[in-house]
Structures are given as C-alpha cells and as structure tokens.
Amino acid sequence: MSDSRQERLAHVLVDYSARVEQGDLVTLETTTLGAPIMRELYRAVLAAGAHPLPRITLEGLSENLLKHGDDDQLAWVNPARADDIETVDVRIVLDAPANTKRLSNIDPKRQARHELANEGLRNRYLQRAAAGELRWVLSVYPTEAAAQDASMSLAEYDDFVYGAAFLDAPDPAAAWRQFGERIDRVGDFLAGKRELRIVAEDTDLSLVTEGRQWIRAKGHENLPDGEVFTAPLETSVEGEIRFSYPAVFNAREVDDVRLRFEAGEVVEASATRGEEFLRQMIDMDDGARRVGEFAFGLNEAVPLFTKNILFDEKIGGTVHLALGTAYPESGGLNRSALHWDMICDLRSGSEVYADGELVYRDGHFLNGLASPPGGASRPAEPQQQ
Amino acid sequence: MNDPRFDRLAELVLDHSLELRPGQLLRIDADAVAAPLILPLHREAIKRGAHAYAAIDLVGLKELLVAQGSDEQLDFVSPIELREVDAIDAAITIWSESNTRSFSRADPARRQRQLTADRQYSLRRRDRIARGDLRWCGTLSPTNAHAQDADMSLADYEDFVFRACHVLDDDPVGHWRSVAEQLGARAGELGGVRELRIVGEDTDLIAVVEGRTWRSAHGRQNMPDGEVYTSPVETSVNGTIRFGFPAVFGGREVDDVRLRFEEGRVVSAEAAGGQPYLDALLDMDEGARGVGELAFGLNYEIDRFTRNILFDEKIGGTIHVALGMGFADLGGLNRSTLHLDLICDLRREGEVYADGELVWRAGRFLSEIQPTSRPVEHVG
C-alpha cells in the first residue's frame, strides 16, 4: 500500500530541500528496503526534468568488506563513488536500515581504517556543497529496524518521522519556509554573541563562537531539520559536559558520556558503557579530540530520543556538540575523519548564558525567539532580560 | 538461513568464469532481488583480494523512465557509468528479475529508445571484453519470477539452476574445465565441416558453415553454459525449420514458429501465437530476416524449457538459430539490432548430417568425445 506521505516526502526533498532543476544529475541513495520511496523520488526527479541515478546499497556488503578485507581493501576508495561526488549536481540520501547493529562486532580499528580512507570523499562533497556546486539532503525511510531503535511500532514510527518532517501539514514546503523564519531569528540573535556558557546537571561548559557563522538548518540538507549550529573557536572550549542520551556512532552506543575540555581539547572521557569504543574513536586522529560543531535543537515536533542522530540532534530543547570535523561553512577549522554528535537535554534544570546574560532556560530561549508563530510571547526583537 | 549453493555458484563464477585476481576491480550488476547471490559474490571477491562493489537496480525504476521520461531523459547516457565501464577489470551481470513481464505493456518505441541509450554501456563493455581488458560473466540467482516462467516452485527451480551450473559437483571448476575440453574438441571437429543439414519434425534446413569459426561456450561468459556456436554463411541457409519451444523476446512470446529460408533470408514466417509481434521483429531492420547464429545446445542437465534464454539455448539435444545480429569475430557478416534465438528440439527424432554423413541423432552427437578427467558425480 502506498502511503501518500511518501509521495509528499519525495516532493519536499526534490522540490524544496534539494531544489532539483532541469538537467541536474541526481543520485538517489538508499538501501534495498527504501524501494517504495525510491520509486517516488525517481518519479519526482523525472518530473523536475532531471536525471535520476539510483545508488542502492544492500545491507551486508559493508560487513563483507569490514570483516574480510585486508588493509589495502579497507583503505580502498570506490572510484565510481568518487566520480559521483565529483560529478553530480544533487545527492538525495535516505537511511533505511534493516539492522542498525549490523556492524556491532566489527573491529573498531578496521572500521576506523575504512572511515579514514573515505574521509576524502566526505570532505570533497562538503567542499563542493560549500562552493555551491552540489546540493545534498539526508532523510530517512522508516523501517522496522529504526522503529525498533525508537521503541515504537512501524506505524507509530511512520507518524513520528512524517510528523517531524511536517508532511501532515497542508503544504509541507510552506511549513518549512515558515519554520525557517523562526530559525533565522535564533541564528541572528546568536550571531551577535561572543561567548556561550551551558549549565546543567554535571555540566558547565563555555565556548567562544565570535567570528563564526551560525548556520540555520531549515530543511535543505536534512529532513526533518530544525537547528542552528556553528563551530566554536577550536581552543576555546573549557569545562565539562554530561550527555543525557546515549551517543551513537556507526550504530554503536556509548552510554552516559562525560567529557572534560581544556583549551578546546578533550582531556578526560568516560562512559558507563562503551568507554573503550569512545577512546578509540577520539584517538582516531588529531582532530577527533576537538569540537567541530555546537548547536541548538529547535524542532518541537521531535519530542523524544530515537537513537537516530538525524532526529535526535533536532529535538527541541537540546544542545549538541560534535567531536571531530567541522562544517567549512560555519568557519570551523577542525578536521578529522570523525564527526560524532552527542546530545544534552536542556529541557529541565538547565540554563544557557550568552556573554554572561541568561538567554535560555529549560529548553527555551527566554525571548521567545524560536516559539511557534502566533504565540503571545513572540517579540519582534530579542528581549533584554 | 544460508544456502551454501549460492556460495558455491559465487565461487565458481569468480574462479572459473572471471579468474578474478587480487587487486582487480569487480562490478556486480543486479536487481535487488538477486541479493542471495550478490552477497556471496561480493564476500568471496573480497576474500580473493579484489575490490568489489555492486550496482544495484530496483524493479520499477526503468519502467517509470520509459513511461514518464522526456525524450532527453530516455536518451540520457550517464557519463559516470561509461567511466565505470572503462575502470573495471571484471564484471558480473546477474539477470535476475522479480517480474519478467514488467515491460510487457510499455510503449515499444519508448522502450526501444531507452534500450538504445542503455546499449551504450554494453557496447563499450563488449569492446573492452574483445580487447581482453575486461572479463565478464552473466548468470542468474533463482527468483520466483523465473520459477513462475518455468512452471516450477522456487525450490524446484533452485534445484534446476544449481544442477545446470554443476555447483553441487565435487569440483565445479574441474567440471567446467572438462566441459571446455570436450566442447573445444567438438568445435574443432565442426570446424572441418562444410555444410550442415538439420532434419526433424517439419524441419529440413541446410546451412554452409565452411570458413566460419565454431566457438565453445564453457562457463566463461555465461553460467550455466554449454553450447557450440557459429555464424553460418549468410546466403547459404535454405529450407524449413519448426521451433517447438516458444520464442521469448522483450518479455513477449511467439509460439510454434515455422520459418522458410531462401538463400539465407526468411521468406515465410508463421506462428501459432504472436504472429503480429513476430512480423514486427522480422521487419525491424534489413538484417532481421537473416541468420546470425547456428548452435548446438549441449548442457544435458538443462532438460526442459524454462522461458529464459540463458538456459533454453543450452538445453542438451537442441539446436538454435538466431535471426539478426551475427558474430563478427566468428566470421558472421549479418548486422541487426535483433538477435532472436529460436530453439528447435532435436531430442526425439532429430538428425543432423555433416557433409552428407549422419553425425547426430536423437539429441546426441554420435561420435563421443571423451573427457580427459573422470566424469563428475553429484554430492548430497
């Protein structure tokens, strides 16, 4: 049975997010489980007058390589994928896992070798994106595996995913444009600040963002979306932070991560589960111990943690930071094969200070910046306390 | 549950068909429905030190392109895919489908236009194969769609496919090496023949093959395999032939085709079913009424018609004639976009004469060519 929300998702991705134009070369990347959404995307790309290039992966292939490959094979970069990255105008990528724990028993060192080798591909596509040569968007197609991680039935997870992407709205693209205006107001406000301090349970972290760009994530590169992020000055991060949610990287979970920073570098890292994996990841390379991203999650339609970073980092009322590589457009200089987002829930007992002034409490900006339109608390200008 | 027969087919294709070596780049082309074979092919290629990746298609996408694409979209040839064809050392095409008739109702002209664009990849691949720069093999992972076409359950069809590939033999690679010796010898023997005459039910056909090369097909470019074939002298084909099995082309069937040739051209063509389609195929272009191939099917594990040319043309005890494109490297001169294989069952009362001498009766060559290795036995 076709879910009309799949068709709407395809159209939002093609027409709003990636702005596919006539003649574009568009890779459509998902797993074999994504077949239903792949057909909708293919149709939507054809309707836009562009050329759809399916890139379908089969779960088990990466496991084959990571289990059986020698060092040369692990470090191999597929020239066809490199050619895609170099050539196409648009990438539309949809996660659709059959088993999110498929790589749990792979030796992390082997995995790291593979990640390192393919770092160039990721850097290159981000570089082309920053130069305006390539548009990309990451989304999901709901599967049982993802629903299981979220502790939901697939029907419930469908509702969660499509709700978070505003696909129940009469005009989803219009809903994203409207939300985008609110996100812009938060970005404008933060752009005027020099230093942020986050205070919560077992957390007191300060960082300097002056001179960096606050990027407003409005549904163009992620869907769903809803965050503002930047890269703090690499040596400015000081203090400690405890992450409320398990940190998930390459489908591995690390619970209750606590980090202590000095001069921008992780000097202490602990976890109640998965500490060894955490250490291996932050020892991956020089940049893996520094912060590449700091962000506020603003999407109130993502109310709960589902073990998928695409959603979790957007949870309205959270902040997250990423160890590892920075997005060039944010002005960050840190480079690493790692980019590991970790999330801290600020919805109760938390405060954020900007240049010493309290601007955010219990998951909300005090000046009502990110509140939905029409609310009584929505000011035209950032309020002074 | 893992079925070890898929692993063994994968090993056979990599070790015998492709002779894959460490460091080589392998591309596996397949629809997602072939996953049970894609996975072991990829894994075994990695274990052999190669770099491997799969280019996976999904049923329904090309169908959308043909139904809804603009002319520009139908004609589009991906520069990325052309460069891939140039970069790889080895390629496997798994022809498995989840619906063998999904193009049956497509507009033939639009489908043709899209196929013409797709042919750019296969032509370039063929050139690289001919130059010895690329090894390629086409094979099949059993699916319900193919089982359905064969009037079988999937379990029975799997047995049929794996038997035809001899993957349950003690030494599948050894089996196909011995097939190579036998069929090579047979091709050499046929190379000394001037004229063949095929006699069967409603069939009496003469073809001159002198000066043409016979090739043995022993599992290098197809798995399963088992035929010897050539392109006969184009103007030499005379007489009548009746093809007992339906001819399947482009997802459509033509039943019980009877052809009459004069000086190499089809002058009369009748079919019990699908006459308009047969007529359309014969009128496709100038070369469509000429003969491109004459072959003996010699895989006796393939004992029935299953509506899949990969298997049907190798049925032990049959011959097949292809209308249309000939093999230039075997001396064939006929050119066409058509290559329609028509299969004639000679297992019951067929006879073949070579320069007047009876060489084949009831589906077997009369002269035995002894394999040098011991006959293979089945395990399990």
The full set of domains in chain A, from first to last, is 4-168 (3.40.1830.10), 181-365 (no CATH)
Residue of A nearest to B77 (CA): A51
How close does chain B come to A79, measured CA to CA in Å? 8
Residue of B nearest to A54 (CA): B57
CA end-to-end distance (rounded Å), chain A: 53
Predicted local confidence at residue B343, as pLDDT: 95
Q: What average pLDDT does the segment B241-262 reach?
A: 90
Q: What is the band of B372 on the pLDDT scale with cuts at 50, 70, 90?
A: very low
Predicted local confidence at residue B230, as pLDDT: 97
pLDDT in tens, A183-199: 999 999 999 999 999 99
pLDDT in tens, A19-33: 999 999 999 999 999
Q: What is the band of A374 on the pLDDT scale with cuts at 50, 70, 90?
A: very low
Residue of B nearest to A29 (CA): B56
Residue of B nearest to A68 (CA): B47
Share of chain A above pLDDT 70, in %: 95
Residue A373 burial (CB < 10 Å; 0-12/13-18/19+)?
exposed
Contact A70/B at CB under 8 A = yes
Predicted local confidence at residue A371, as pLDDT: 58
Cis peptide before B224 (omega within 30 of 0): yes
Q: What average pLDDT does the segment A336-355 reach?
A: 94
Q: What average pLDDT does the segment B278-307 reach?
A: 95
Q: What average pLDDT does the segment A130-136 reach?
A: 94
How close does chain B come to A68, measured CA to CA in Å? 6
Which amino acid would we find at residue A94?
L
pLDDT in tens, A9-19: 999 999 999 99
State both tokens at A125: 């596509």
pLDDT in tens, B208-244: 999 999 999 999 999 999 999 999 999 999 999 999 8
Q: Which residues face B296 on adjacent strands? A: B228, B319
Closest Cβ–Cβ partner in B38, B55, B83 for A83: B83
Residue of B nearest to A76 (CA): B51
Predicted local confidence at residue B104, as pLDDT: 86
Instruction: Please identify among residues 111-170 of chain A the ones whose CB lies closer than 8 Å to any CB of chain B.
Output: none
Predicted local confidence at residue A187, as pLDDT: 96
> Could you give the residue ranges of the DSSP H alpha helices within chain A?
4-11, 35-47, 61-68, 71-74, 79-87, 108-117, 119-130, 144-149, 154-164, 172-191, 275-282, 309-312
How close does chain B come to A61, measured CA to CA in Å? 6
Contact A4/B at CB under 8 A = no
Write out chain A residues lying below 8 Å of B39, CB-based: 58, 60-61, 64
pLDDT in tens, A72-84: 999 999 999 999 9
Write out chain B residues lying below 8 Å of A32, CB-based: 32, 35, 56, 58
- Looking at the predicted structure, is the pLDDT value of residue B5 above 60? yes
Predicted local confidence at residue B370, as pLDDT: 52
Q: How far is the C-alpha of B268 from the C-alpha of B344, rounded, in Å?
A: 17
Q: What is the mean pLDDT of chain B?
A: 94
Q: What average pLDDT does the segment B282-286 reach?
A: 93
Question: What is the torsion angle, in degrees rounded to the nearest 10, for the CA atoms of residue B153, residue B158, residue B164 and residue B168?
Answer: -140
Q: Which residues face A269 on adjacent strands? A: A259
Could you tell me which residues come within 8 angstroms of residue A300 by beta carbon, excluding any fewer than 6 positions away? A316, A317, A372
Q: How far is the C-alpha of B67 from the C-alpha of B111, rounded, in Å?
A: 9
CA nearest to A34, candidates A99, A95, A101: A95
Query: In this complex, do A32 and B56 lie within 8 Å of one another by their Cβ atoms?
Result: yes
Q: What is the band of A373 on the pLDDT scale with cuts at 50, 70, 90?
A: very low
- Looking at the predicted structure, is the pLDDT value of residue A248 above 60? yes
Query: In this complex, do B38 and A61 lie within 8 Å of one another by their Cβ atoms?
Result: yes
Q: What is the mean pLDDT of chain A?
A: 92
Predicted local confidence at residue B150, as pLDDT: 96
Asked whether the ipTM of the predicted complex exceeds the cut of 0.95, the reply is no
Contact B42/A at CB under 8 A = yes
Could you tell me which residues come within 8 angstroms of residue B59 by beta carbon, excluding any fewer than 6 positions away? B31, B32, B33, B97, B98, B99, B102
Predicted local confidence at residue A385, as pLDDT: 33
Q: What is the band of A381 on the pLDDT scale with cuts at 50, 70, 90?
A: very low
Which H or E element spans position B351?
strand B351-354
CA dist B268 to B170, B196, B253, B289, Å? 49, 21, 19, 10
E strands present in B244-334: 247-249, 252-254, 257-262, 265-270, 291-297, 318-324
Q: What is the band of B2 on the pLDDT scale with cuts at 50, 70, 90?
A: confident
Predicted local confidence at residue B378, as pLDDT: 36
pLDDT in tens, A274-315: 999 999 999 989 999 999 999 999 999 999 999 899 999 999
E strands present in B83-154: 90-94, 135-139
Predicted local confidence at residue A108, as pLDDT: 84
Write out chain B residues lying below 8 Å of A110, CB-based: none
Q: What is the band of A3 on the pLDDT scale with cuts at 50, 70, 90?
A: low
pLDDT in tens, B147-200: 999 999 999 999 999 999 999 999 999 999 999 999 999 999 999 999 999 999
Residue of B39, B58, B59, B102 to mutate for A, most A C-beta atoms under 10 A: B58
Q: What average pLDDT does the segment B337-348 reach?
A: 92
- Looking at the predicted structure, is the pLDDT value of residue B85 above 90? yes
Contact B38/A at CB under 8 A = yes
Contact A2/B at CB under 8 A = no
> Could you give the residue ranges of the DSSP H alpha helices within A75-171?
79-87, 108-117, 119-130, 144-149, 154-164
- Looking at the predicted structure, is the pLDDT value of residue B101 above 80? yes
More confident site: B369 or A203: A203
Residue A343 CB neighbour total at 10 angstroms: 24
Domains detected in chain B: 4-141 (3.40.1830.10), 173-365 (no CATH)
